[in-house]
Structure 1
């Protein structure tokens, strides 16, 4: 599929998505290089930007044209209104978000001159996304066709939400991040699709990463079989700047290599979330998994050309305009 065909799919996104999880205020500073242990480096001005893996994923999906319902918790601080306001600006419905006493979730992010970053996460109100809360939102949650989950919320809540939505016929996509090597069996049983990066995949399967990061020479068919043994029939493995691989036991071609989209990266913060948000939106719009990953390559590449997470995300029109003019 060429660029024009992929971008044409991007313009057709119109599905309904639910996202349950984290919203964070990202305290971000840029430096010439990332500090080593015990080292102090001088950075640029401190920026406060909207983030949180789940909030980012919701914003990315909504900006592309999906109808997105966000579920989670914010605190009683000024960051709460800031986060909800930014999600609303992106087109996300935040009516189901809970407010709790105390601080909202935060992250401290350092970004170097090449766009690489380090991130420290403080859960704050995200720790209050309880099982009772998601059960109380059952009707709206299960009205969507696809559910997005990551692991910045309590694991018992993520698992209960997956079960509730899976039982209602909602397709469940789980991003194993922050990475947990031993996912609960109940979560696996109720997840339709797994999203991990290449390093997480190796840890999950207990295999060595290829020498010199040669993932093209990796035995992806064996990885598919191993994932099936764990309980996952479908997965997307992201490879950073090298694209992604779709593993789909239901497809005629079980292993599909998705080529990268090359851009001059300014900041890679939130690019993985832009990728997942796009996959959610595409799946909700009835597209197959490999096409969803192809579209996500363009959207996440676009995000790498701007600073911050949600602040760097584009609409379908903006993404199409950038890549249509370069091909």
Structure 2
């Protein structure tokens, strides 16, 4: 694996997460008391950019926040993680907000109010051939399509939340990352050139045109918050693959990063450098 980690540019959402931690999730029409409220920087895009930077990659964020206190807080959090925020637009619309309920097992329910994320524009944004461009679907599909057209190098889509994807977008994707339920909800992914699927406690797998070509188990860990774990997995997998690891090793490393993240209460947890997880997941023969 190369010592110099590649550049990752994330095009996506930036949200303030309002998290209520309760004993259990409410059912329809039910009120649950005794919860604890916290505010955290979030948004799938921002979470992935922060993870990429903390893992040691060169991370740039392309997104939008509001001209408000929440937006300034989100920009500060990204900068503190080591993310280049020069391409984050400050707009008149309010900063995006996610309302999240987390139960004692770490499971969650999320409602997203996109705010400024809905007005993200890629006017004037360019991507170099050496950059991996990573998108999600918490910003408008037209913006994701434009990013796919503009990207000159490795293009990755975290297809979450699940929706029908245009053929043009799928053809352009060098890698699609989804969880098990998203994979089931997007049948067209069976034709995609490369898809990584996460299975929570059952690990992850890689598929080429619907055929499983690699898999890796997950590490057992006490669950504190699952909100940012998938995002940390995405950032780690992109960095691992672009650093030259094969599919099995890259999945194992990304699983280890995701396990670290799920044990932390933050949606943008502190992470070790990618090399730490590479060593942690090294086969016994490598350690000799």
Which TM-score applies when normalising by structure 1?
A: 0.80
Greater shift, 143-152 or 98-107, is seen at 143-152
- Pair 1:171–1:289, CA change in 2 (3 A): farther
Cα deviation 1:165-212 (Å, max 9, x = unaligned): 1xx2x11111110110x2012111211111111111122228xxxxxx
For residue 113 of structure 1, report the CA deviation from its aligned partner.
0.6
Of the three residues 54, 57, 63, the one matched with 2:54 is 63
SS at match of 2:177: strand
Shift of 1:248: 3.1
Give the structure 1 partner of residue 266 of structure 2: 308
**Kept in 2: contact 1:19–1:68 (CA 8 A):** yes
Partner secondary structure for residue 205 of structure 2: strand
After TM superposition, what 4+ stretches of structure 1 lie above 6 angstroms from structure 2?
none
User: What is the CA-CA distance between 1:143 and the residue it aligns to?
Assistant: 4.9
Distance 1:55 1:49, change over 3 A: same
CA–CA distance in 2 between the matches of 1:259 and 1:115? 20
Which residue pairs with 1:272 in the alignment?
Answer: 230
Which structure is higher in RCO with an 8 Å CA cutoff and minimum separation 6?
Answer: 1
Match of 2:253 among 295, 311, 317: 295
1:264–1:155 distance in 2 versus 1, CA, 3 Å = same
Q: More strand per residue: 1 or 2?
A: 2
Contact 1:15-1:145 at 8 Å conserved across structures: yes
Deviation at 1:316, TM superposition (A): 2.1
User: What CA distance in whole angstroms lies between the structure 1 residues aligned with 2:34 and 2:244?
Assistant: 44
Partner of 1:189: 171
1:83-162 equivalences in 2 (<5 Å): 83-130=74-121, 134-138=122-126, 141-162=127-148
Task: Say yes or no: does 1:173 pair with 2:152.
Answer: no
Partner residue of 2:206 out of 243, 246, 250: 246
| Deviations 1:255-285 (CA, angstroms, capped at 9, x unpaired) | 2121111111111111111100111222332
RMSD, aligned α-carbons: 2.4
- Cα distance in 1, alignment partners of residues 103 and 4 from structure 2: 34
Please name the residue that 1:227 is paired with.
Answer: 190
Preserved contact between residue 234 and residue 247 of structure 1 (Cα < 8 Å): yes
Higher helix share: 1
- Kindly state the Cα deviation for residue 12 of structure 1 after the two structures are TM-superposed: 4.3
Q: Is the CA contact (8 Å cut-off) linking 1:13 and 1:281 kept in structure 2?
A: no
For structure 1, the 5+ residue unaligned runs are 1-8, 207-225
TM-score (norm 2): 0.91
Instruction: Measure, in 2, the Cα distance between the counterparts of 1:60 and 1:43.
Output: 31
What's 2:150 paired with?
A: 164
Q: Could you say which residue in structure 1 is the equivalent of 2:70?
A: 79
Which consecutive unaligned segments of at least 5 residues does structure 2 have?
none
What is the CA distance between 1:135 and its match in structure 2? Answer: 4.0
Rate the CA distance shift 1:43–1:271 in 2: closer, same or farther, 3 A.
farther
Does the CA-based 8 Å contact 1:73-1:125 persist in structure 2? yes
1:259 is matched with 217
Structure 1 equivalent of residue 182 of structure 2: 200
Q: Deviations over 1:62-90 (max 9, x none)?
A: 10100011101111110111111111111
